[in-house]
A = this chain, B = another copy of it.
Amino acid sequence: MSLQIDETHDPARTSWVVSANGHREFPVQNLPFGIFSPRGSARRAGVAIGDCIIDLRGLTAEGFVSCDAASVLHHETLNALFALPSEERVALRRRLSEGLSDSAYRDRLQPYLHKASSCTLHLPAQIGDYTDFYVGIHHATNVGRLFRPDNPLLPNYKHVPIGYHGRASSVRSSGVPVRRPQGQLKPPDRDRPIFAPSQRLDYELELGLWVGQGNALGQPVSIAEAWKHIAGLCLLNDWSARDIQAWEYQPLGPFLAKNFQTTVSPWVVTTEALAPFRQAASARSAEDAALPYLTDTQDQQFGGLALELSVSLLTKRMRYEGMAPFRVSQGDASGMYWTLAQILTHHTSNGCNLLPGDLLGTGTLSMAEREGFGSLLELTLAGSEPIALPTGETRSFLEDGDEVLLSGVACTEGRTNIGFGACRAMIVPAP
């Protein structure tokens, strides 16, 4: 068994949509799906191509897309598209790649192109359930070290893909401002908690996984089948109020510290587009071998992802001074101790049912070194070592007016890079 790499991935393929050629994120090799509305018009499915979006509803009405997938492209969410067998998504991808690369189709398809800058992007799916994992081993180690310097990783970490349920209702697309949460905080020097705006507001750099085909309650998904249940990926910022979290999280885990908002990049970079960027999962010693239900040869060979990830910050003053966002960390996805297939299979291993459009977060993807830490909690050693910004400002945690920007690009030798698009949001003051 090998991964399906076909003509849609050919680096020589160019598009008649000129802005796509050499585009950092959306060349014709990417073709991510999303839900958008042209100014003042209704929501519809689209695909990003260069600086434009092509209207899939229009293409089906026009008759250009007539494969089995066409019937699901009239909806205002992608849930029905996600629910298709992956073969049908592949057929759709090939047809779209053909239409957008062969200039013979230009006159026919041009009317369905919109400038992305004049469109609004929305959440791609109605999210039934959102689950967040903890697969970043460097993050788990960094955070654990704050509490247990000698023994940062808990005994279950290398056996169980740790995860917990998050809040589906408060997931928002890139660009929606994040209101600073109020909550119970208990400063160490006080006997009792106070109710006040969080003073330790943080971001977390994660990947999001959009569930494709679901599974019935009571019927686990085997590790060999898991990838077929993944529709695609996005960037995900798991905003976290560290002071609320510290006081509330025992014994049932994070709750109000996390559920006030979660930001995702609105484009779904499909598993098909990511095929050339899959690589070996991070190596494990024999002693750390996963249990059989989480072990699969193909997953070991192709469970990793060649993704460059970074976080940038833009403060109010930087914005005022016309400065570009300042990169505070840069790394890749190599810190994933568990693969996407492993978290999906683990999630269903007890019979729990996943539905198309469910969202799974990976957890914070930090590197082993400080330059690649994926949260301020780690970068500033829990606030004790503020980071310096080019304005002379410092940050222990986020201030009102700060904007956080996540970036992700898949890149590997001999292939055209593809990107995830924007995942950014600004902090606005507590009510």
The reply to whether A162 and B248 form a contact with Cβ atoms under 8 Å apart is yes
Q: Which of A106-114, A168-176, A331-339, A370-378 contacts B (4 or more CB under 8 A)?
A: A168-176
Chain A interface residue count, CB cutoff 8 Å, equals 60
Interface residues of A in 329-387 (CB under 8 A from B): 346-347, 349-355, 358
Q: Once the chains bind, are A252 and B254 in contact (CB under 8 Å)? A: yes
Residues of B within 8 A of A397 (CB): none
Q: Which label, helix, strand, loop or mixed, suits the secondary structure of the A interface? A: loop
Chain B residues whose CB sits within 8 angstroms of the CB of A217 once the complex forms? 169-170, 172, 179, 260-261
Question: Which residue of chain B has the shortest Cβ distance to A156 in the bound complex?
Answer: B247
Does A293 have its Cβ within 8 Å of any Cβ on chain B? yes
Please tell me if A219 contacts chain B, counting CB pairs below 8 Å: yes
- Contacts of A254 on B, CB cut-off 8 Å? 164, 252-253
Whether, in the assembled complex, A296 has its beta carbon less than 8 Å from a beta carbon of chain B, the answer is no
CB distance from A143 to the nearest CB of B (A): 8
Most B CB within 10 A of own CB, among A163, A165, A179, A192:
A165
Given A217-B170, A217-B261, A253-B254, residue A247 in contact with residue B160 (CB < 8 A):
yes
Least distance between A177 CB and chain B CB atoms (Å): 9
CB distance from A381 to the nearest CB of B (A): 19
Of the candidates B129, B184, B195, the one whose C-beta lies within 8 Å of that of A167 is: B129
Residues in A100-120 with C-beta less than 8 Å from chain B: none
Note all chain B residues with C-beta closer than 8 A to A291.
184, 193-195
The answer for the CA separation of A239 and B195 in the assembled complex, in Å, is: 33
Chain B's closest residue to A132 (CB) is B252
Q: What are 14 A-to-B residue pairs whose CB atoms are below 8 Å?
A: A154-B250, A156-B248, A159-B186, A159-B192, A159-B193, A163-B252, A164-B255, A165-B255, A182-B349, A195-B291, A217-B261, A218-B431, A253-B253, A351-B431
Q: Which residues of A contact B (CB under 8 A)?
A: 128-129, 134, 154, 156, 159-160, 162-170, 172, 179, 181-184, 186, 192-195, 217-220, 241, 244, 247-256, 259-261, 291-293, 346-347, 349-355, 358, 431
